[in-house]
A and B are shown apart, each in its own frame.
Chain A
Amino acid sequence: MPRYFLHIDDGTQRIEDHEGSELPDLAAARDEALGAARQLWAAAILDQRDIGVRSFSIADGSGTVIDTVRMDTALPRSLLDRLAGLNR
């Protein structure tokens, strides 16, 4: 299985994933990042703390970034619609 590195961009710095994970394909790597995004949002709400993380950069075995998963893609549709309404 190919190895993917999931680096974390928190607005001010990049938290490097030095180890990477063996995953079947890019879709599985995206799924891992999305799952982490959901866990971060959940923790932010449950523990009442703000989170700086903006996105995850997915790099392949050679270190090249091949995809990005933004934190907001993990938010429920209804919440995004509501926020869009507030900003209008």
Chain B
Amino acid sequence: MVFNNRLLRALSPADQEVLRPYFQWSELDRGRVLVSPDEPITRVWFPESGLSSIIAMSGTDQGIEVGIAGRDGLVGMPLLLDADRTPHRIFMQVAGAGYSIDANDLRRTLDENASIRNLLLRYVQAYSTQTTYTALSNAIHPIEQRLARWLLMSHDRQDGDEIPLTHDFLALMLGVRRPSVTIALHSLEGLGFIKATRGLITVRKRLGLIEFAGTSYGVPEAEYDRLIGPLR
């Protein structure tokens, strides 16, 4: 059986067999919380589909998305770095499904298997690059460009061109007010890159989006490719 998760796919067949007996399959509904702030992380998730959002919290009810992880990665990274919890909140923003492994089983497996550990650590590096470029983008790119970047990142992590996202989610991701999302979507729609309907954004011209996103898109993606393999 071929994994859809790019990390699991990048493992050697022998390493895949090491992990497989520990895997538990779960449907991951939209809104499902995978990691709660400052609570022990008990499982690590390898999404086969869907998209999780890593949120940095400001107080209890405000936050901004600092990273995303879907079939490109895993959820529960602190465990790879000898930490058992994080101040971040991680939840599914696009429904999907995936495998999870108990934290202790994973720890033991990583202690015994350098090749699995090294691959997952390279993913941590790739993810870290993603978040630093999100910081860069938040600081210097106009909202339309950041939206284009985000849509491309989401598109990279799924099959097909339809991204099921509400404007409320996009506002959280981009750290802007709702009407700012409406206006930015309208601009990208006017350029013919996307079609936005209620709860659904369809990518029409990926190359146009890439050109429009300019320097905001591409560096973390190239790093991922170099460290792990093809993202799309």
Enumerate chain A interface residues (CB-CB to B < 8 A).
6, 8, 15, 17-19, 21-22, 32-33, 35-36, 39-40, 43, 46-47, 53, 56
Contacts and interface: CB of A to CB of B under 8 A. Distances in A.
A8 B168 contact: no
Contacts of A22: 168
A32 B167 contact: no
B127 to A, nearest CB: 28
Interface residues of B, number: 16
B183 A19 contact: no
B177 interface: yes
Contact of A19 (B176, B180, B186, B198): B198
Contact of B179 (A43, A46, A56): A56
B179 A36 contact: yes
Contacts of A35: 177
A39 B198 contact: no
A15 B177 contact: no
B148 to A, nearest CB: 15
Contacts of B180: 36, 39-40
B197 A18 contact: yes
User: Taking each of B166, B176, B179, B186, which has the highest tally of chain A beta carbons within 10 Å of its own beta carbon?
Assistant: B179
A17 B143 contact: no
- Interface majority SS (helix, strand, loop, mixed), chain B: helix
B143 A36 contact: no
A18 B177 contact: no
Given A32-B179, A39-B180, A43-B142, 4 more contacts: A17-B178, A18-B197, A21-B178, A36-B179
A15 B143 contact: no
Contacts of B168: 19, 21-22
A21 B183 contact: no
Contacts of B178: 6, 17, 21, 32, 36
Given A19-B199, A21-B167, A21-B168, A40 B183 contact: yes
Contacts of B167: 17, 19, 21
B182 interface: yes
Contacts of A53: 183
The 10 closest A-B pairs by CB, nearest first: A36-B179, A36-B177, A35-B177, A6-B179, A18-B198, A19-B167, A15-B186, A36-B180, A39-B180, A47-B142
B197 to A, nearest CB: 7
A21 B169 CA distance: 10
B137 to A, nearest CB: 14
B32 to A, nearest CB: 19
29 contacts: A6-B182, A8-B179, A8-B183, A8-B186, A15-B182, A15-B183, A15-B186, A17-B178, A18-B198, A19-B166, A19-B168, A19-B198, A19-B199, A21-B167, A21-B168, A33-B177, A36-B176, A36-B178, A36-B180, A36-B183, A39-B143, A39-B180, A40-B180, A40-B183, A43-B142, A43-B143, A46-B142, A47-B142, A56-B179
